[in-house]
Amino acid sequence: MKDENRTNLEPVDRERRTFIGAAAGVGASMVAPGVILHAVEAAPRATSVSSDVRWGLAIDTAKCAEGCSACIDACDRENGLDLQTKPKPLSESKWDQQKAVWIRKVKLQDNQTGRITNLPMMCQHCEDPPCVDVCPTGASFKRADGIVMVDRHLCIGCRYCMMACPYKARSFIHEALEGQLTSVPRGKGCVESCNLCVDRRDYGEESTACADACAAEGHNAIVFGDLKDPESPISQLLKALPTRQIREDLELNTGVRYAGV
Amino acid sequence: MMKRIVYREWRIPPARFWGILGILASVIGIGTLSFGYMEHQGHWVTGMNNAVVWGLPHVFAVFLVIAASGALNIASIGTVFRKPIYKPLGRLSGLLAVALLMGGLLILVTDLGRPERLIVAITSYNFSSIFAWNIFLYTGFMAIVIAYLWTMADRQGGPFNRPVGILALFWRLALTTGTGSIFGFLVAREAYSAAILGPMFVILSFAYGLAVFLLVLMFAFAEEGRVIGPKILRRLKNLLALFVAGALYFMLIYHLTNLYAAKHDDFESWLLLHGGIYTFAFWVGSILIGGLLPLWILYHPEKGKNCNWVAAAAALVIVGGLSTMYVVIIGSQAYPMPLFPGQTILESGFGDGVGGRAASYWPSIPELLLGLGGVAVGLLITAVGVRVLQFLPESLADDVVPVDEETLGEAAFAKPA
Amino acid sequence: MAKAALKASLFLGLMWALVAQVVLADEVKRYVVEGSRAAELDACVEPTERMRRMHFEFIKHQRTLTVHEGIRGSKYSLAGCVDCHISYNAEHEPQPINRPDQFCGACHAYAAVDLNCFDCHASVPNRPESSPEARAAHAAAGVGQPGHLAHAHPGGGER
């Protein structure tokens, strides 16, 4: 199921992939699982996340190329969103509105000047997230490191957070899923959205899938980092470039900032 | 002289009663099947999507919830505001309040993405969420109204009648304001960021609750040949007209304030002029069918005295109420969110209102059946309630209903009730 | 008096529960599937008896820590259960663990306890090559030694 969707893997990827299957499954009988994981530098987090960091994104819309969808493709692959399949009886146009989208490209034109802007939109990881305020069960929450996400064990699928989100950043899973990724459990009837590649955070990785993909394309429009560290590239960038939050009027202090909008 | 009010069970022929129950039960059954279908398949079988996340079930549910609190009005007027003429209607009013609320809540619950996790909603609270508060408001309302019914029906409860009635009145106001606030606190959506939404829901609830109450009362009485005298009919229809006029006034103020606040101009011109189905539902549904037409009937010198016409007016108010809910709940979701003021969205991977276009939503059959199922639950509870317990007064003929202050001049010798 | 009675009945109840568990444990068939890594081990991350009774508590506690506190790689992770208890068919394809003939599915069917972890969680070890865990596993085993691939099974994500 999953491999059918991913037949376009490069040969190298394929080989690595088979290897992973072995490493995670039978092959791992050679080494105990704990040993495997602790043997590498990027060890999984053993202590609670702290508010000493606040993760965020800085997006330079001047560098965001029209027609490029590298960030979206990377996000889809990272989080298994490319495994979504349209239920057969459903029309394409309806499916477009019902499938889960964590990151999307938006193309804008200024009404006065006609200037065109391209930018990616995703969960803005507000400091005071409206989705967290309204969630009746506390499933929608903000992690200490500033990531706004959904605890799918608590989500009852009431969709009030989607009503409250000013950025339309959240998706409801409308259909039953199978073949989910180990790292991104997701299922029918819950709400989800961008979580800044939370498992990458917990395994000490440098960046998010979208930022990596954008850099790999040579655009470097998306910069990920710690907003609280004045030395981090993102803080430096925000110091240098005039940026703003979308819907500044709501004073949500978003973790995602845009230059050139 | 005033007679003692006698309450009696609903004694229509068993065949007739079971027939009515059978019809309601089959509607509930079909609603249950729709629920099973939606839950098994997932919400893709509904018209809902990531832009319009609350669809037709919420229209029915919110209507029923606010109609429930409105239905309690009659009892409140009787006990809290001491209008004895409404006293005989108090029990039915309380019963309807509980029954409609049950119906509405069932719809809300069955439309959840994970209804089997209801236990999570009951055990894990987020107190900053108005939704979580509403869970308390709803369950508390039911408990209070049941206690209220007891004070009305049991001799021992008599002394508590008024205090409990006052508590119920405040609780129902909180409940409707809370329901309105579910929408009112959504700063993100243009249509909702208006403080007037809370009070507007209260006045809407008066109208819808009374309309449902009137229809149920007239149906139950007509089935069994009980009498509704012209005196009480006049009072009830005048009250309905007053509430409908009030609702119209609040809607006018709501849209005027939106027009006055320049940033809502776009939304208003969309809704009032270019909103397609929503514009139609607003003008024809809410204003004409739910407002002007019933007002015309109720204030008509001839028709306003005719039972059938009054019933028709009440039905129109209900139809108008549903379309008002449709406009308020769905229309404001369909209207694109103002993400980039001064800019036009040319392309988007997630339907952000490209070129200012509204999101599409068309209700599916299962959603409609689910909503109707909830209505049937409310009616079934009511039907069984009036059948087995003494909820309905034996007669509402002019010489039976208590004297009220309007006619006090003529009956100055009557003892206060 | 009443208190003593309560204590006595509590004690008896506890004793009964313990005895029942032991008897049950003897009767209960072993659900660990032959050919899985778990079959080669003496015990799970806790003694078998404890796991039988407590595994859900462990997982539930862990899930809160992982989702809210970001703590990963603990010994009670659900992905760990799957990794160790998964079995493979003749074609070296992993068999979904919630299937009625597999470890989780079989026991839950026996105990008639609803198992819905795998509505959302992967029921087979299934990590995309880009995931951090996978990269961690790579690094540990030493990438670039294709000799290891000789007996590998294709497609970790197959269901």
Confidence at residue B13, expressed as pLDDT on a 0 to 100 scale: 92
Look at residue A44 and tell me if it is in a domain: no
Consecutive H or E run containing B8: strand B7-8
Average pLDDT of the segment spanning C127-152: 51
Burial (Cβ within 10 Å: 0-12, 13-18, ≥19) of residue B413: exposed
Mean pLDDT lowest among B60-74, B295-309, B395-409: B395-409
Do residue A106 and residue A21 come from a single domain?
no
Per-residue pLDDT at A241 exceeds 50: yes
Look at residue A236 and tell me if it is in a domain: yes
Per-residue pLDDT at A33 exceeds 60: no
All residues at 6 or more sequence positions from B364 whose CB lies less than 8 Å from its CB, including other chains: B45, B46, B47
Of B126, B186, B347, the CB nearest to A107: B347
Average pLDDT of the segment spanning C77-100: 88
Do residue A24 and residue A103 come from a single domain?
no
Indicate the domain borders of chain B. 7-337+360-402
Between A112 and B199, the higher pLDDT residue: A112
Q: Which two tokens stand for residue A214?
A: 């954008």
Q: Would you place residue B396 in the very low, low, confident or very high pLDDT band (cuts 50, 70, 90)?
A: confident
Judged by a CB distance cut-off of 8 A, whether residue A27 touches chain C is yes
Do residue A164 and residue A107 come from a single domain?
yes
Whether residue B374 contacts residue B111, with contact meaning beta carbons closer than 8 Å, is answered with no
- Residues B167, B174: Cα–Cα separation, whole Å: 11
- SS3 call for B243: helix
Average pLDDT of the segment spanning C52-80: 89
Average pLDDT of the segment spanning B300-307: 88
The alpha carbon of residue A107 is apart from the nearest alpha carbon of chain B, in Å, by 5
The amino acid at residue B145 is: V
Task: Work out how many domains chain A is built from and give that number.
Answer: 2
Do residue A70 and residue A25 come from a single domain?
no
> In the block, which residue shows the tokens 């806790």?
C46
Q: Would you place residue C138 in the very low, low, confident or very high pLDDT band (cuts 50, 70, 90)?
A: low
Confidence at residue A27, expressed as pLDDT on a 0 to 100 scale: 37
Of A3, A28, A151, the CB nearest to C157: A3
Closest CA to C156 of C94, C89, C87, C78: C94
**Cα nearest neighbour of A172 on chain B:** B50
Rg of chain B in Å (alpha carbons): 22
The alpha carbon of residue C110 is apart from the nearest alpha carbon of chain A, in Å, by 24
Reported as a single tens digit per residue, the pLDDT across B46-75 is: 999 999 999 999 999 999 999 998 999 898
All residues at 6 or more sequence positions from C137 whose CB lies less than 8 Å from its CB, including other chains: A20, A23, A24, A28, A36, A37, C127
Confidence at residue B214, expressed as pLDDT on a 0 to 100 scale: 95
The alpha carbon of residue B320 is apart from the nearest alpha carbon of chain A, in Å, by 24
Top-confidence range, A163-172, B260-269, B347-356:
A163-172
Chains touching chain A through at least 3 C-beta pairs below 8 angstroms are: B, C
Do residue A116 and residue A213 come from a single domain?
yes
Whether residue B358 contacts residue B52, with contact meaning beta carbons closer than 8 Å, is answered with no
Confidence at residue B123, expressed as pLDDT on a 0 to 100 scale: 81
Closest CA to B197 of B242, B244, B253, B271: B253
- Containing domain of residue A232, as a range? 55-259
Confidence at residue B262, expressed as pLDDT on a 0 to 100 scale: 65
Q: Give me the percent of chain C exceeding a pLDDT of 70.
A: 62
**Which chain B residues are within 8 Å of A106, Cβ to Cβ?**
339-340, 345, 347-349, 352
Mean pLDDT lowest among A17-26, B16-25, C15-24, C132-141: A17-26
**Cα nearest neighbour of A23 on chain C:** C137
Q: Give me the percent of chain A exceeding a pLDDT of 70.
A: 84
Whether residue B162 contacts residue B80, with contact meaning beta carbons closer than 8 Å, is answered with yes
Look at residue A133 and tell me if it is in a domain: yes
Look at residue A92 and tell me if it is in a domain: yes
Whether residue A126 contacts residue B121, with contact meaning beta carbons closer than 8 Å, is answered with no
User: Which residues 174-213 of A have a C-beta within 8 angstroms of B?
Assistant: 174-176, 188-191
**Cα nearest neighbour of B344 on chain A:** A109
Cβ contact B50–A101 (<8 Å)? yes
- Distance (Å) of CA B283 to CA B21, B52, B55, B274, B287: 36, 21, 20, 12, 5
Task: Work out how many domains chain C is built from and give that number.
Answer: 1
- Residues B353, C71: Cα–Cα separation, whole Å: 39
Look at residue C110 and tell me if it is in a domain: yes
Confidence at residue B291, expressed as pLDDT on a 0 to 100 scale: 92
Q: Would you place residue B324 in the very low, low, confident or very high pLDDT band (cuts 50, 70, 90)?
A: very high
Do residue A75 and residue A143 come from a single domain?
yes
Reported as a single tens digit per residue, the pLDDT across B265-297 is: 788 888 888 888 999 999 999 999 999 999 999
Rg of chain A in Å (alpha carbons): 19
ipTM of predicted assembly, 2 dp: 0.87
Look at residue C118 and tell me if it is in a domain: yes
Mean pLDDT lowest among A82-96, A110-124, C37-51: C37-51
Mean pLDDT lowest among A189-198, B50-59, B143-152, B378-387: B143-152
Q: Would you place residue C67 in the very low, low, confident or very high pLDDT band (cuts 50, 70, 90)?
A: very high
Cβ contact B41–A175 (<8 Å)? yes
CATH fold of the domain at B7-337+360-402: Formate dehydrogenase/DMSO reductase fold (1.20.1630)
Average pLDDT of the segment spanning C14-30: 56
Of B53, B342, B343, the CB nearest to A159: B53
Look at residue C100 and tell me if it is in a domain: yes
Look at residue C18 and tell me if it is in a domain: no
**Could you tell me the CATH number of the domain that includes residue A142?**
3.30.70.20
- SS3 call for C35: coil
Average pLDDT of the segment spanning C44-50: 87
Chains A, B: CB contacts within 8 A come to 186
Confidence at residue C140, expressed as pLDDT on a 0 to 100 scale: 56
Reported as a single tens digit per residue, the pLDDT across A119-144 is: 999 999 999 999 999 999 999 999 99
DSSP-H helix ranges across B111-189: 118-123, 130-153, 161-184
Average pLDDT of the segment spanning B178-201: 76
Look at residue A46 and tell me if it is in a domain: no
Confidence at residue A6, expressed as pLDDT on a 0 to 100 scale: 41
Per-residue pLDDT at A170 exceeds 60: yes
**Count of Cβ atoms closer than 10 Å to residue B195 Cβ:** 12
